Every structure is written in C-alpha cells, then in structure tokens.
Copies of this chain bind each other. A is one copy, B any other.
Amino acid sequence: MPLIEIIALLAVTQFMYFGYKVGIQRRDSGLKAPAMTGHEGFERAYRVQMNTLEVLVPFLPVLLLSGQYWPALLIAPIGIVYLVGRGLYAQAYVSNPSKRGLGFMLSLGAVAALLLLALLGAVFG
C-alpha cells in the first residue's frame, strides 16, 4: 500500500505548504496575532489553508480506508485528482476567488468518490 501512503503524505505536504504561504502573508501583511482579518492577501491565503483542512480531514481516512478494499491503481489516480484540484483551487483563490470552483469541485469530487468506494468496501467487502 505504499503508493496510497505516498499520496496521503503528499496531501499532508501540500497542506503544510499552504500553511507556509499563510505565514508569509502574516509577515508581509503586518497583521498582528490574533487578528485574522484586515488584509486581503492574508485572508485569501488563510481561506486556502482552512478550506484545504476541511477536505483533508475527510480525504485522509477515505483514502486509506478505500485503499484497503480496492486496488491501488484505482485509488491512487483519484488521490492525484484531489492533489491537482487543490493546487488549482489554491492558485485560483489567490488570484481571483470567484474562479476557485473548478479546483474545489475536483478535490471534493475525489473525496466523494473515495468515500463511496470506502463505504462500498466496508459494507460489502
């Protein structure tokens, strides 16, 4: 199952990279903690991080659980769709938040597909 694990770890790495971008924006914006609003660039970077947290928390268990029931060659590509979707989402959100829909839908669709596969596996597998 290392292929699945590697995708899980890449998703974690991507999330930490988004967190790094928040740190950069925190520094450049001059916003003093605990303030979380008042600078557009910081708010966008923070929303990328938080929204990614909201899909990463479902993604990791459904990836690992579905990987127990289905071949890695089916699960891994769905995991890659998640990673690409999140990358597109982050890029779009920073440049123009109204364009974030495609990346959002790709990553959410990947999570939904893995959730369904994991449920099917757990119920019938």
Measured CB to CB, the residues of A under 8 A from B are 2, 5-6, 8-9, 12-13, 15-16, 19, 32-37, 40, 43-44, 46-47, 49, 53-54, 56-58, 60-62, 65, 93, 97-98, 100, 111-112, 115, 118-119, 122-123, 125
Contacts and interface: CB of A to CB of B under 8 A. Distances in A.
B2 A62 contact: no
Contacts of A16: 58, 111-112, 115
Top 3 closest pairs, chain A to chain B, by CB: A33-B97, A34-B43, A34-B47
Copies, count: 3
Given A9-B62, A33-B100, A97-B34, A49 B57 contact: no
Given A9-B61, A16-B115, 17 more contacts: A5-B122, A8-B65, A9-B122, A16-B112, A32-B97, A33-B44, A33-B97, A33-B98, A33-B100, A34-B40, A34-B47, A35-B43, A36-B37, A36-B47, A56-B57, A57-B57, A57-B60
